Amino acid sequence: MKAVRRPRPSTAASEPATANRASLGRDGGVGGIALRVGPLSARCRPRVLLVPCVVVLALITAFIVGVAHGDVPIPALDVVRILLGGGNAVDRMIVIEFRLPRVVVGAAVGAALGLSGAIVQGIARNPLASPEILGVTSGAAVGAVSVIVLGGSYGAVGGHLARIGIPSAAIVGGLTAAAAVYLLALRGGLSGNRVLLVGIGIQALLSSLVSWLLIKASIVDAGRAIVWLTGSLNAATWDDAVAVTPALALALPAMSMLSFPFGALNFDDDTAGALGVRLDAARSMLLLTAVVLTATATAAAGPIAFVALVSPQLALRLLRTATPPLLTSALLGAALTIWADVLGRTAFGDKQLPVGILTAALGAPYLMYLLVRSGKTHGR
């Protein structure tokens, strides 16, 4: 969006714009920059504009590094050249056929998880909430693990059953579990806490179902199931990318509309209602988006830990806003996932660690660092 920086019209027009901007910090007032283009208008602080740009840079870097690293190292410049349509044929094939899907799926999955994490945390008004409490992840796990375990004996799941069966079962499982949570939590309106509690209950139920399936399974099947449960981009193909990116592409425009009531949902119900927000409708739409995003992301790469929990919190602290910022959370989720995957592939020699292990290992310390640091300065 092209935006016009405008000085606050409330201050005298004769003053130079810089003076207006400088006075914001001192005498308070309605801070931020007003962006107005035709009928479009928004208000934000410089930080809210700058941080996403930085995150986008980090994301692009991660993208290139992720494509460049591997058994056959390809220089970053060549990667850029190939992505722009040049490069030699061998490198082209390695990049387009093998490396790129992995990075694209990683970015899409990370963005989907970061976005749905921000939605759920905002609606639950609880920084510890994540889409997992909607039952999606555990539902998807039940679906995927049952296909792996029950679909064939001794690791026989392969071919179409693996390519299509596991993701489909994951999506069906995730959506079913989320529908169950929704229906059970719906009584007398959707209240944040009720969704949370019902979700935790369903999640516990489904987790025990997964455990039972794992115990029932053969060692080989159980091993495959564990890998899936950790979350991995190893098997990522263009098919996965095709599955995830449309969901994300649909979600982003929806988000630009839904982020409007989303901001007001952070108040208590009465205040939000008095501001004219249709609480249940807004919550349902937002939760539906979060569920679809999480389900497709989980279907593509398994339940990658911590991205949904940590990205919104990181974004919140970097932007210093009151509500989890949706776009920045998505961008951070994507960057975090790709960096974690790159590290998992390259930092441990021959051992390739699944991305799920690294996201937790990277995200958790950084979140703790932010908590400690902000605790010292702001008491938050």
Q: Give the Cα separation of 319 and 174 in Å (integer).
A: 31
Chosen residue from 277, 299, 305, 314 binding another protein by CB under 8 A:
277
Nearer to another protein, 29 or 246 (CB): 29
| Pairing of the two strands 40-44 and 5-6 | unpaired
Q: Which of residues 297-326 bind another protein (CB under 8 A)?
A: 320-323
Check the CA dihedral 216-222-112-52 and report its sign.
Answer: positive
Of 3-11, 169-177, 239-247, 286-294: span binding another protein (CB under 8 A): 3-11
Check the CA dihedral 95-96-97-103 and report its sign.
Answer: positive
- Cβ at position 80, least distance to another protein in Å: 35
Q: Give the Cα separation of 112 and 120 in Å (integer).
A: 12
Nearer to another protein, 207 or 321 (CB): 321
The values of phi and psi at residue 40, to 5°, are -80, 140
Nearer to another protein, 22 or 72 (CB): 22
Structure tokens at 7: 């000085």
Nearer to another protein, 276 or 349 (CB): 276
Q: Give the Cα separation of 292 and 137 in Å (integer).
A: 11
Q: Give the Cα separation of 28 and 18 in Å (integer).
A: 15
Of 100-108, 275-283, 340-348, 353-361: span binding another protein (CB under 8 A): 275-283
Q: Is 193 in the site for another protein (CB under 8 A)?
A: no
Residue with tokens 């990116």: 245
Q: Give the Cα separation of 332 and 351 in Å (integer).
A: 26
Chosen residue from 18, 30, 215, 351 binding another protein by CB under 8 A:
30
Nearer to another protein, 34 or 227 (CB): 34
Binding mask 105-144 for another protein (x = CB under 8 A): --------------------x-------------------
* DSSP string covering 184-235: HH-TTS--HHHHHHHHHHHHHHHHHHHHHHHHHS-HHHHHHHHHHHH---TT
- Cβ at position 380, least distance to another protein in Å: 6
Binding mask 231-260 for another protein (x = CB under 8 A): -------------------------xxxxx
Exposure on the CB side of residue 328, measured as CA atoms within 13 A: 23
Of 35-43, 81-89, 91-99, 349-357: span binding another protein (CB under 8 A): 35-43
Of 69-77, 173-181, 274-282, 307-315: span binding another protein (CB under 8 A): 274-282
Chosen residue from 3, 21, 36, 214 binding another protein by CB under 8 A:
36
Structure tokens at 373: 């640091």
Of 85-93, 265-273, 333-341, 352-360: span binding another protein (CB under 8 A): 265-273
Chosen residue from 168, 266, 284, 346 binding another protein by CB under 8 A:
266
Q: Give the Cα separation of 196 and 25 in Å (integer).
A: 39
Structure tokens at 117: 């994490």
Q: Which residues bind another protein (CB under 8 A)?
A: 8-12, 24-25, 27-32, 34-36, 39-43, 125, 188, 256-260, 263-264, 266-271, 273-278, 320-323, 378-380
